[in-house]
Amino acid sequence: MKLFAISTVAVGILIAGPVGAQTAIQAGLWETNDKTALEGVQPMPATSRQQCLKASEAELERLLFPSPEEIAKHGCKYDGALKQPGVLQSSLSCPPADTAPGVDAKSEITFTQTSYEGLGQLLVKDKSGTTLKGTSTLSGKRVGDCPA
């Protein structure tokens, strides 16, 4: 059960804030959705959140990944590149820590200026060596302008 709680935190790290490739999207209010399943673990509820992107931060990575500062703080490594226009392939690798397991995640996201959808593959490993495999279904859409 403890690994489940830690895994939930690790998955949350994957779905947080920015990084940086040429993935411009439209600024405004976005609604994002994630459904993650880990093998051998009770199904986790889908998560949905809204995030306001200003024009200066309107990149797909801002909706999907932690900030570069957070990535560095946790000793993680991010790699992302356009596979073709409108398709981002990325990977994020974070070592295990005292309070959170390590995670290796790969994703392929298809996106437009106002929406995205894709799949992610996860490998979560705690310091004792316990490993869980999982998948994430990711989607999001622009729902309007940011509140004033």
Domain ranges of the chain: 2-144
pLDDT band for position 68 (50/70/90)?
A: confident
**128 DSSP 8-state letter:** T
Whole-model pTM? 0.80
Residue with the bigger pLDDT between 47 and 148: it is 47
Tell whether the model's pLDDT for residue 14 goes beyond 90: no
The stretch 106-129 carries a mean pLDDT of 94
Taking the mean position of all CA atoms in its chain, how far away is CA 140?
A: 12
pLDDT at 51 (0 to 100)? 96
Q: From CA 116, how far away is CA 5, in angstroms rounded?
A: 28
The stretch 2-23 carries a mean pLDDT of 45
In terms of C-beta density within 10 A (0-12 exposed, 13-18 middle, 19 or more buried), how is residue 100 classed?
buried
**36 DSSP 8-state letter:** E
Lookup: tokens for 36: 């993650």
